[in-house]
A and B are shown apart, each in its own frame.
Chain A
Amino acid sequence: MALLEVRDLKVHFPIKGGILNRTVGHIKAVDGVNFSIEQGKTYGLVGESGSGKSTTGKAIIGLEQITEGQVIFNGEDITSIKNKTKDIRKDIQMIFQDPYSSLNPRKRVLDIIAEPLRNYEKLTKNEEKQRVYELLELVGLTPESIWKFPHQFSGGQRQRIGVARAIALKPKLIIADEPVSALDVSVQAQVLNFMQDIQKELGLTYLFISHDLGVVKHMCDEIAIMYRGRYVEQGTKDDIFENPQHIYTKRLIAAIPDVNPRNRDKHYVFRQEVKKEYEQAYDEYFDAEGLAFGLKDISDTHRVALPERG
């Protein structure tokens, strides 16, 4: 059974307008998303900014109201915020995008990492400190860090503190909302590899939200491409990278830069071809509002939003 199952998830934000401030329309941030994640796997959610990938993550953990659909975690329905009982909250944690604003600037590292422990576990001061030391060691920070404030750390170190806080309760699922996009490229790899290490060590499941295809390729087992609140293509890593079916996916993958400078011209020609195909076939692949169609099975793992033909 899947650890997390999301069925037809919709998150709509009302647009208020007019004299009486009535709802005049909806922004469909997430519009009918289905997926499931197996225990121990990493599921990547990719899309341009504004495609609704972060909103999906936030809706699952309960930071956004779900308009419609179902979220099932470990066999329990946690769609409404009310159903997110303390025990379930404990099992789902989040790593935030911005390591600068996600740590309270007025708190010491001890207080930051101990916050979830204080909420869920009755520990004595010494046990608590002990646990924080262990977590700091796990994320590779020195024990002295415990008395420091967030601003005394670099971005990468701060993100490690964020990770330490997220794994403090030994959760089952971690929603990583662009965990490295605010970091230096040299630090990105460091944090990503470290995330993979603790995944093996603690048996974590990741919902990995990113706009960086390179990072996603490195991290994920399964990948979904989102565009304007809908899925465009979903499949295993190989399905997406070796056999992209949708023109949007094709164009995204063509945009990944090639490290070999000798191929520069060839790559440029290829990109131009994909661009041409995208522009020509745009009307075919997207409906009148510019949204993707419903998903169709191509193979057991691969689903693509292909146009209805015939």
Chain B
Amino acid sequence: MKLMPKLLASAALAAGLALPVAAQDDPFQVGFIYIGTPGDYGWTYEHDQGRLAVEAHFGDRVETVFLENVPEGADAERAITQMILGGADMVFTTSFGYGEATNAVAAQFPDVYFEHATGYLREHPNVSTYNARFYEGRAVLGHIAGQMTESNIIGYIGSYPIPEVIQGINSAFLHAREVNPDVEMRVVWTYTWFDPAVEADAAQALIDAGVDVLMQHTDSTAPQTVAQEAGIISFGQASDMIQFAPLPRVASIIDNWAPYYIRRVGEAMDGTWTQSDIWEGIDTGMVVIGEMTDAIPEDVRASAQAMIDAIGAGEYHPFTGPINRQDGTAWLAEGEVADDGTLAGMMFYVEGMTGDIPN
């Protein structure tokens, strides 16, 4: 874990300010805890873009600090505490595994605002959680993938078998099947969010199994490189990965945290911040579909855009019945829409998926 110069500077500043603090002139300090580095061009990169957007939006009124490569677990607690002692008034902890550490520190600092990404633990009134409806974006990618595959086998690199990832697989598969009844989906689990070598190997394994469209739910661009060499199609993940456009990357699913970060920092500054559990998608722009390249046929682009618009307008939910579970039992009846509780705990495949979810 590296202490960034900015944080060092602010820590030194805080140490020097042993005199009474003039709250009026002090910039509001916002801290970010990162699981990786902004250089991953994926997950952490997008959180860092959100941080920069906060800086750009509030100018001198806000100061931001961040810590990168913070391991999940006990070390995170120390890192968050250190950040607050350095003067942070608000902390965003940007990985699922920081949940317990965030709440433990929140108990000690009731005046500091905490925002935990993709989590569910809100044990104290100063802790909020936020997440994006990634499955909405996956539906659009599945819609495109189903029409672009020629081998009728779509590959999916999964990180860990947790509900958030399984939602994405199911959503992508349902919408690929909808436009292409012959489509199959093959899933490889890497058991890591970020290991470029393993991600590249997983991509190669899928390609060798006949996959010609590749989706990923891991953080690095390594699978894109493999897809490019193999001449198949891929989708950017977490960030736009536009450097791989127009091929292999034909579209992407972007986690756009900036509007949320600006909104919450603003609320914290003017005292209107309240605890919340946010789960937003295409409607508020938290999930964005990156530019669809010319490699996608025009009619497919048009129908994909129509789906984006329908989801954004709240007219279409990607999990709308009839949908059966993998074992053939009914899950959603005709026209029924999945409730958030079931989605948040989704540990089953939908009908038509051939593999098993490892436990």
Pair from one complex: no
The interface of chain A, by Cβ under 8 A from chain B, is: none
The interface of chain B, by Cβ under 8 A from chain A, is: none
